[in-house]
Structure 1
């Protein structure tokens, strides 16, 4: 009989989603996951199979929970201006989707499926107050612009951000 799991799998997946939302997939090492999640490397591999397996579990959790909550809020707005404020206020809540769409979806079919599922959920919610087909793209662009502005906070016009 095997030893009982020493960690809460749902909590690990949720925490991993937060880590992946802050950095690109290739910017998160297995060592980062072990340190951040407090789970032994062998346990991670036994439970999720690989870093990619954990990433997919985290992305699925994120689409179900974070995007689901955002969509529920979007269904309650009356117009695009209110939706723009809501998305701006959502802040980092959209970052995992944006990173997954830009970095992993073009090279990983399973990630592309999850990204498209998230976009479909947002499209459906946005469709409650507008018939404009590009509305989801415009709302995601609001977050991208806000993120770019936040990353450049304190930079003078025309200067490049320091890394």
Structure 2
């Protein structure tokens, strides 16, 4: 019989989401996820399966919770959606939920991430 899970999944997902937003998917290592979440590597793997599994759960949570999903969505669209069907489907779902303002908001966030102001050429 396995040991019961001894960490709060929601807190781990919140910490992982912040890390993915700050460092991107490719820039984020399992070591950094362990450090940021405070969860043992084995527990992360047992719960999520992989770094990708953690990212997918973060993306799902951001859609369900109605949180500001634009930053994580940019990471998903920029780094994973082209090669990952499940992530692509979740991105489409997020954009549908977000509605008509999605393109404008993503554009603003993308410019901000690039360090450009809206009024800049």
**TM-score above 0.5:** yes
Partner of 1:48: 48
Pick one of 90, 94, 106 that aligns with 1:140. Answer: 106
- Give the number of the structure with larger relative contact order, counting CA–CA contacts within 8 Å between residues 6 or more apart: 1
5+ residue gaps, structure 2, are none
**Structure 1 residue 112: Cα displacement:** 0.4
In structure 2, the residue matched to 1:102 is 78
Give the TM-score taking structure 2 as reference length. 0.86
Q: Give me the whole-angstrom Cα distance separating, in 1, the residues matched to 2:48 and 2:91.
A: 20
Q: State TM-score, norm by structure 1.
A: 0.65
2:97 corresponds to 1:121: yes
Q: Which runs of 4+ in 1 moved over 6 A?
A: none
Unpaired segments ≥5 residues, structure 1: 71-92, 127-134, 152-163
Larger Cα-atom Rg: 1
Give the conservation status (yes or no) of the 8 Å contact 1:22–1:96.
no
Inter-partner Cα distance in structure 1 for 2:114 and 2:49: 34
CA distance in 1, matches of 2:11, 2:67: 18
**What is the CA deviation profile of residues 115-159 of structure 1, one whole-angstrom value per residue up to 9, with x for unaligned ones?**
111111112xx3xxxxxxxx53233212222222269xxxxxxxx
Question: In 1, distance between residues paired with 2:90 and 2:11?
Answer: 20
Contact 2:16 2:33 (8 Å CA) reproduced: yes
Structure 1 counterpart of 2:4 = 4
